[in-house]
Amino acid sequence: MKPGDIRTFQKGRGNAAVLAVGVWAARQKSSAPIHIHITGTKNFHTTVTNDPDSERCHRTLFRDLRRLLIAENCWPFAQEGAETEQRKATA
């Protein structure tokens, strides 16, 4: 299995696709926010971050992908990003 592998299967009333994606965490420079990269097909590469000032911010997706990377021993940033494990305070 490699990023970009695609299979289809019957799910409910329609067809569904399984896409193998590559997921890794990186940052551009030491003071920059962590970006989790997601890549699949040659036309698909995106990132998600926990930086609330970024248009790429998605707190729950970042949290879930961070959990995956931690479970697979692929998270090199110690406790960074752990704030996504807590619900945001509401006013």
75 in a structural domain: yes
14 found inside a domain: no
Decide if 61 is inside a domain.
yes
Three-class DSSP category at 61: helix
DSSP string, 26-57: E-SSTTSPPEEEEE-STT-EEEEE--TTSTTB
Q: Which domain holds residue 43?
A: 22-84
> Does 71 map to a domain?
yes
pLDDT digits (tens, 9 = 90+) for 26-64: 998 888 899 999 999 889 899 999 999 999 999 999 999
Number of domains in the chain: 1
Inside any domain, residue 80 = yes
Tell me how far apart the alpha carbons of residues 3 and 67 are, in angstroms, rounded to a whole number.
19
Q: For the beta carbon of residue 81, count every other beta carbon within 10 angstroms.
A: 22
pTM of the model: 0.85
**pLDDT score of 90:** 64
Domain membership flag for residue 11: no
Q: Does 27 fall in a domain?
A: yes
